[in-house]
Every structure is written in structure tokens, then in C-alpha cells.
Homo-oligomer: A and B are copies of this chain.
């Protein structure tokens, strides 16, 4: 059997995230059904991570095993003619038999997009977080520095998560302003549930003077979710890259 990996781009607006669910349409389900149409085989696709409802992907990685004889480089063309227009297979790779999109991942990069204008942009309403209040981007950049490195990110995890090891290593965290758009990019060896969105929400609170920059190390140490900022909305979040 061949082991095929896909790099996907998807607009998460209409999906209840990646992972198959009983009563909601997910990217995994749509992709598995389309693979079945194209190859004639019912297969289970392994995703690099769950993503939440409304979250987008620019470089989602998944893999599946198949006996299909479709040449690897023809898979994107074969799938894309059958997939809905909000999911694209950008590339296909033949990978080693033991490659597993989730277990083999060494880390990921996410982007969070903020539009800082009085009224939301009609074109970005599903593709960014609209923030109508003043933002001091220099403060956000300063705060970002405190997240870099190995820390216990318990305070930046959705309450109710059952993960025990809450230490993660943030490789990089940048905040850049382009006209009215603020782009945050974060890469780490792994992420706790809602970690990127809570860090984004905390940076928004820092930029809006609701949290003091110098309180960030304290919030990290204390490990108390209620001290951090809001969970910024899903539609601003993009999975950009998965490291292997």
C-alpha cells in the first residue's frame, strides 16, 4: 500500500473544524468522501491536528493509505475537480509507510490576523478578527517577547482541557502592522487547546492597555487562565505550516 500525504488549503468558515463528527460537516469527512469517489476506496485520513470551527488552513498536512494507481502528482488535479471550492489539495507527496501526519509532527506555525478599523471590512469578516479599539502595536511586540522559549502555558489553555504536560517551546512570536492589518505569527513544538487564540487575545488586551506588558511573566508563572486575555475569535486563525 502507498502512503500519500496532502498539503491542503481550506477556508474553515463552513466547517466544524477538521475532525469527523456525527452531526456536522467537517473537512476530514468531505476529503474522505472525495477520496472515495476518486479512488473507489474508503479510507481514513490522518490529520496533523484538529482545528476549530471557522479556523482556516494554508498548509494543513494529512495522510492516507491507498492501493490506487493514480500517480502522486496527479492527485491534486483529480481531487480538486471533485472537492468543494473552499478546500484545495495544493500538493501530494508519497511518504514512508510509517509517516503519520500527527505523530511525526515536530511543531507548527500559526498566523493570527487582526483588522483594526472602526467598522469591520466586509471582505475580511470571515478571515480576520475585527478590533475597533485603539491598539499600541509596540506594546504588543514587547509582550510577545515574553512568550518565546520554554514555558508552562497553563494560563493560555482553554479551561476544561485535560492535558497534563502544559509545557511548550515557542520558537518565535512576531507581531507586524501593515496599514490597518496586524499579523501575529507563532511557531512552537506544540500548542495547547486554544493557546494561539488566547495569546492573541492577551496581546490585544496589552495593546489596548487592559493588561500591562510587565504582567505577562507573572501571568505565565501563576498559570491562571482568568488572568490572561480573551480567546480571540476563530476566524482570524490560520494554520500556516507543519514541521516534520
Q: Which of A4-47 contact B (CB under 8 A)?
A: 9-11
Of B119, B120, B122, B127, which one neighbours A123 at CB under 8 angstroms?
A: B127
| Nearest CB of chain B from residue A213's CB, rounded to whole Å | 32
B10 touches A88 (CB 8 A): no
Give every chain B residue within 8 A of A127 (Cβ-Cβ).
Answer: 123
CB distance B9 to A121 under 8 Å? yes
Shortest A49–chain B CB gap in Å is 18
Residues of chain A in range 72-102 having any CB-CB distance to chain B below 8 Å: 76, 80, 85-90
**Closest B residue, CB atoms, query A80:** B119
Q: How many A residues have CB within 8 A of the partner chain?
A: 19
Residue A56 is within 8 A (CB to CB) of chain B in the complex: yes
Q: Inside 8 A of A11's CB, which chain B residues have their CB?
A: 122-123, 125
B residues in contact with A123, CB < 8 Å = 9, 11, 56, 127
Cα(A56)–Cα(B121), bound, Å = 12
- Chain B residues, Cβ within 8 Å of A120: 85, 88
- Pairwise interchain contact B9-A85, C-beta atoms closer than 8 A: no
Residues of B within 8 A of A10 (CB): 122
> What sequence of 0s and 1s flags, for each residue 126-139 of chain A, a beta carbon within 8 Å of any chain B beta carbon?
01000000000000
Q: How far is the CA of A123 from the CA of B90 in the complex (A)?
A: 13
3 smallest CB-CB distances across A and B, nearest first, come from: A11-B122, A88-B119, A85-B125
18 further interface pairs, Cβ-Cβ under 8 Å (given A86-B125, A89-B119) = A9-B123, A10-B122, A11-B122, A11-B123, A11-B125, A56-B123, A76-B119, A80-B119, A85-B120, A85-B125, A86-B122, A87-B122, A88-B119, A88-B120, A88-B121, A88-B122, A90-B119, A123-B127
